[in-house]
Amino acid sequence: MIVLFNKPFGVVCQFSKHEIHPTLKDYLNIPNIYPAGRLDTDSEGLLVLTDNGKIQHEISSPNSHKYKGYWVQVEGDIDNEAIQKLQNGLNLKDFTTLPARVEKINEPEIWERSTPIRFRKNIPTSWVKIQIREGKNRQVRKMTAAVGFPTLRLIRYHVDDYYLNKLRPGDYQIIK
């Protein structure tokens, strides 16, 4: 079984109880499924869950090189130089990223976030689409910060061949 879930902002990617935040158990009452990968509590979007260990490993293993796609709202008007650096791969403190697919986009057609992004009258924001083949801890956030454009909002819209499509936050779809 494969379940596509649109993880809302503030939800922890675990089924066990959390002291502060809601967890997957608050949204999914499907026995014996487990996340294939994770999203940080402050990230939103597609989470693939499965009861198949092989599929879980294929998706979540850093060695699988499956593309994961993100819509990222950044602080500032991101420029071509920053996009080029993201595309080429970056040497971050903890690791060096693989080359990524990156392009500046218009704001995607998405839902309002439950907790609004901080608004600053004199600082613009912009959106980029980033596709990476790895998924280290807070990688996309570290990448955009390293080129001078901190992430304000991060939404994963695809993992390999699985897409968020029109799922609303908190909704899920069983596809197999």
Q: Which domain holds residue 71?
A: 63-159
The yes-or-no verdict on residue 57 having pLDDT over 90 is: no
Residue 104 phi, psi (nearest 5):
-75, 135
Identify the band that residue 65 occupies on the pLDDT scale cut at 50, 70 and 90: confident
Residue 145 sits in the same domain as residue 167: no
H helix or E strand, kind and range, residue 56 = helix 53-60
Give the model confidence (pLDDT) of 88-108 as tens digits. Answer: 999 998 889 999 999 999 999
Number of domains in the chain: 2
The domain spanning residue 29 has which CATH number?
3.30.70.580
Across residues 61-79, what is the average pLDDT? 91
Its pTM stands at 0.92
Pairing of strands 34-35, 151-159: unpaired
In this structure, the answer to whether residues 124 and 166 fall within a common structural domain is: no
Q: Which residues are catalytic?
A: 40
Pairing of strands 68-75, 125-132: antiparallel
Rounded CA-CA distance 100/89 in Å is: 6
37 and 51 share a domain? yes
Can you give the pLDDT at residue 159?
93
